[in-house]
Each structure stands twice: as C-alpha cells, then as structure tokens.
C-alpha cells in the first residue's frame, strides 16, 4: 500500500515526483524554531479555515492543524495510520486495529489528510520559514493499535518494529508532500508520545480493561525511538504532555526539540541537561481548554523566573524556547483557541532581550 502523501494532489515542485524531500539535500537542515507555535489539534472541521487561523496567529512557526472533530480518521491514531506504508488499519468498536488489507476507514483517513494538504497549498503556498508537522510517535501508535489477533501491538516486538519502520517511511513521504506544496517551508516533525510514561511504568490497560500490560525497559524504548528519529529526514521534536515525561530518554534518542507542559515537568536537572546539550524547548505555558488567561507579560515574567532557577543567562531565553499551549486545542472553544495562540505569540515577544 502506498503512502497517501507520496502522490497527493496538486504537486508544485519537480522533486515530489523524484521522491526527494526538499530543503534536506545534504541531510537534516539545522532546526530553526520560531518563538511561538501550536501543539497540533484545533476545534472545528474546516481545514482551510484552520490553516488560515494558524498561519495568521503563529506566523513564525505555523503547523499543519489537526481537526479530530471531523470524526474517525481525523483523530491522532487514525491520522498517523494514514501515513503508514504497506500496513493497514481498520476501525472496530474497541478502536483502531491492524488488518491485512485497507478498508473504508483507512481510505477516509487518507482522504482527510489529502484535503488538509490541499488546504495548506491554497492558504500557504508562498510561506517561507519553519513549519511543523505532527504525527503520533512509534510507541504511542503501538500502544493505541490492536493486533489482528491478541492485545495491543506494543506487547509484540515484531509488530513494534514493523510499525516503526513503516511510520518512518510514511513520515518521510509526508515531509516530501508538504515541501512540494510549500517549497519555502523548512519542515520539522513533532512526534506525539503521550503514552510513553505508561509504557515505561506498566500503566497501559489490556484490551479487556481488566489488567495492565508489562512495562517495557527504557533502553528498548529509547533504541526504537532513536532508530525512527535517525530515519526522519528533518529535525524531530518529541512532545509529551503527560506526567513524568522522560525528557532524558527523548533527548538521548536524538530529539532536536522537547515539547512538554511546563506545569507538569518538575525535573529541572533533565531540563538543564537538555539546554546545555543544545536541545530546543517547546514549552506549554497555557492550558489546552478554556480558562481565563493572564496577561502575556505575566506569562513571560513567570518564564524569566523559571529560567533564572535553571541558572542560565537571561539573554539566552528567547532563542532557547518556543512557547506553545500545553497540549492540543481540540477540546477548546474556537474563541479560546484563537486567544491561546495569540497569547503565546505575544508572550514570546516579552522574552526578547531589551
């Protein structure tokens, strides 16, 4: 089964036909991170309006928005499954399951992704600068997909390996498709890995719901994640807004960026080590659901205090971090989603040295 983005509609650059990612001719380009971005999902169902909103509110690091409100196939797992190469899934009452042949559910997910790429072309063809894509990471994908016979794919080393290899190919094709539609984009990829803490701690429920799956050793998680990161032709950030996000593991796996909810991470040593190693931080500083937001300057002041606690020079803060909501905004009202994006954009301006 070919990836849906290998030959998507409206190619605008000859490199798409050659299967070569743009902007990556000599290997991964240096990561260039904007001051503010989004995590991924938004409320609503109109991809054109969603791209227009993101490009307008986050002009220095926009992202391809996800709209799970459209239903099955637009959710994180279904959307990522649409990228898999030579692997198929179908939707069951229990969720997404690996199957021998593609069916209507997978085709619907692929069609929605194609429509998103059409919307990106329509709105942002002439955009120049860093641009972020989001996909479920290999461990979250394996934790969320059920095998044809048995439990979650995460319990099967062979299934995990096959999924990770297929996903790496699909991500590379997705990068190519996006670069063809927006030739000026310097693409970075965000791997969403909210399930990794549960994988490491043995906290994933079985399909029946009556038990827990065994924990996976951290070195196994790191090695498989590192293998995928190494195969993605652009810089990779790993996002985890769950409690006890293993930042050291993500950094050791080769992540160029770490994306997390600032309020959920208490391990300042891991954060400091990442900064010293040159790993970029994408900091979730406002909730993903409706609430009363402080003034952007107050958010910036909180970040300055946090940066001083880490012990780094104040003038380095603005270039070391990108501000984002803490998680996706699909559960927010449209008005709040717009306010949250405007808030992180404005707060980032107060991080610039005077």
**pLDDT, tens digit, for every residue of 84-104?**
999 999 999 889 999 999 999
Residue 9's pLDDT band (boundaries 50, 70, 90)? very low
Is 5 within a domain?
no
The SS3 call for residue 166 is: helix
Task: Identify whether the C-beta of residue 194 lies closer than 8 Å to the C-beta of residue 39.
Answer: no
The pLDDT, as a whole number, for residue 94 is 85
Task: Identify whether the C-beta of residue 97 lies closer than 8 Å to the C-beta of residue 89.
Answer: yes
pLDDT at 26 exceeding the cut of 70: no
Residue 50, burial from CB neighbour count under 10 angstroms (0-12, 13-18, 19+): buried
Residue 3's pLDDT band (boundaries 50, 70, 90)? very low
DSSP code per residue over 104-130: HHHHHHHHHHHHHHHHHHHHHTT--EE
Residue 351's pLDDT band (boundaries 50, 70, 90)? very high
DSSP 321: E
The pLDDT, as a whole number, for residue 16 is 32
Query: Within its chain, how far is the Cα of 65 from the centroid?
Result: 10
pLDDT at 20 exceeding the cut of 60: no
Q: In this predicted model, what pLDDT tens digit does every residue of 205-258 receive, in sequence order? A: 988 778 899 999 999 999 999 999 999 999 999 999 998 999 999 999 999 999
The pLDDT, as a whole number, for residue 32 is 77
What's the CA gap between 179 and 151, in Å, rounded? 37
The pLDDT of 314-322, averaged and rounded, is 96
Total domain count for the chain? Answer: 1
The pLDDT, as a whole number, for residue 22 is 34
Q: In this predicted model, what pLDDT tens digit does every residue of 103-144 receive, in sequence order? A: 999 999 999 999 999 999 999 999 999 999 999 999 999 999
Is 9 within a domain?
no
Residue 8's pLDDT band (boundaries 50, 70, 90)? very low
What's the CA gap between 135 and 128, in Å, rounded? 22
Task: Identify whether the C-beta of residue 51 lies closer than 8 Å to the C-beta of residue 60.
Answer: no
Is 205 within a domain?
yes
pLDDT at 294 exceeding the cut of 60: yes
Residue 149's pLDDT band (boundaries 50, 70, 90)? confident
What's the CA gap between 165 and 161, in Å, rounded? 6
pLDDT at 2 exceeding the cut of 50: no
Is 310 within a domain?
yes
Q: In this predicted model, what pLDDT tens digit does every residue of 155-169 receive, in sequence order? A: 999 999 999 999 999
Domain range enclosing 172 = 32-349
Is 231 within a domain?
yes
The pLDDT, as a whole number, for residue 341 is 98
Is 112 within a domain?
yes
Residue 203, burial from CB neighbour count under 10 angstroms (0-12, 13-18, 19+): middle
Report, in angstroms and rounded to the nearest whole number, the Rg of the chain calculated over CA atoms: 19
What's the CA gap between 132 and 121, in Å, rounded? 15
Is 2 within a domain?
no
Q: What is the mean pLDDT of the chain?
A: 91
Is 25 within a domain?
no
Residue 50's pLDDT band (boundaries 50, 70, 90)? very high
Pick the residue with more confidence: 107 or 354? 107
The pLDDT, as a whole number, for residue 27 is 46
CATH code of the domain containing 248: 3.20.20.210
Q: What is the pTM of this model?
A: 0.90
């Amino acid at each position: 089964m070919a990836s849906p983005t290998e030959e998507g509609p409206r190619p605008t650059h000859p490199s798409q036909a050659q299967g070569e990612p743009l902007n990556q001719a000599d290997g991964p380009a240096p990561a260039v991170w904007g001051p503010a971005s989004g995590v991924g999902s938004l409320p609503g169902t109109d991809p054109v309006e969603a791209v227009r909103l993101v490009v307008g509110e986050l002009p220095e690091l926009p992202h391809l928005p996800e709209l799970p409100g459209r239903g099955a196939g637009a959710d994180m797992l279904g959307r990522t499954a649409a990228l898999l190469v030579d692997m198929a899934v179908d939707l069951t009452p229990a969720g997404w399951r690996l199957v021998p042949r593609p069916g209507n559910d997978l085709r619907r997910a692929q069609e929605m992704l194609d429509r998103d790429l059409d919307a990106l072309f329509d709105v942002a063809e002439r955009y120049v600068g860093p641009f972020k894509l989001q996909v479920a990471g290999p461990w979250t994908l394996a934790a969320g997909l059920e095998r044809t016979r048995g439990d979650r794919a995460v319990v099967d080393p062979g299934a995990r390996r096959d999924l990770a290899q297929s996903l790496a190919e699909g991500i590379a094709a997705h990068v190519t498709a996006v670069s063809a539609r927006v030739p000026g984009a310097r693409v970075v990829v965000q791997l969403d890995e909210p399930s990794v803490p549960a994988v490491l701690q043995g906290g994933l429920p079985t399909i029946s719901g009556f038990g827990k799956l065994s924990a996976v050793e951290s070195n196994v998680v790191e090695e498989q994640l590192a293998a995928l990161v190494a195969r993605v032709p652009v810089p990779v950030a790993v996002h985890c807004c769950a409690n006890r996000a293993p930042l050291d593991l993500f950094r050791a796996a080769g992540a160029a960026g770490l994306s997390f909810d600032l309020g959920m991470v208490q391990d300042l040593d891991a954060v400091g080590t990442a900064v010293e190693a040159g790993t970029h931080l994408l900091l979730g500083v406002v909730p993903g659901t409706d609430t009363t937001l402080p003034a952007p300057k107050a958010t910036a002041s909180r970040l300055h205090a946090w940066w001083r606690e880490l012990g780094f020079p104040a003038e380095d803060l603005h270039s070391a971090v990108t501000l984002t909501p803490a998680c996706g905004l699909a559960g927010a009202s449209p008005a709040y989603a717009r306010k949250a994006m405007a808030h992180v954009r404005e707060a980032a301006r107060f991080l610039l040295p005077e």
